[in-house]
Amino acid sequence: MSRLDLSVQRRLWPGTLGEGVPGFLYGGLEANLIHVAKDQVNGIDDANSGRTTLFLTPTVQYVTRSWVLEAGVQIPVSQRMNGTALKNDYILTTGFRLNF
């Protein structure tokens, strides 16, 4: 598998910085290009495996000093599948991180 990821982010809130800001809200857009080679069974390529997919992923992220909450929806823009391989409708990703 190989992949190429590009991302841009912009702070949505607060518009101006001042004292006592509890956190920051960011919006972003990612492009994810993923290539998966064909599987092999007994040394023979499986014609119904492997793919190249381009996703566009709008994201949102809330960041504080002690934690981060984030979510994104990967939307397939282009899917080149081999044989009868299954396509993706969308992929929802969420995450939570604690900062120590």
Residue spans of the domains in the chain: they are: 2-14+22-98
Lowest pLDDT segment from 20-29, 65-74, 79-88: 79-88
pLDDT (0 to 100) of residue 86: 85
pLDDT (0 to 100) of residue 26: 98
How much of the chain, in percent, has pLDDT values that exceed 90? 74
Region label for 84, one of left (φ > 0), alpha (ψ between -120 and 50) or beta (otherwise):
alpha
77, pLDDT greater than 90: yes
How far apart are alpha carbons 56 and 75 in whole angstroms? Answer: 5
- Please give the model's pTM, rounded to 2 decimal places: 0.82
Count of alpha carbons within 13 angstroms of residue 45, beta-carbon side: 9
User: Within 10 Å of residue 55's Cβ, how many Cβ atoms?
Assistant: 21
pLDDT (0 to 100) of residue 17: 80
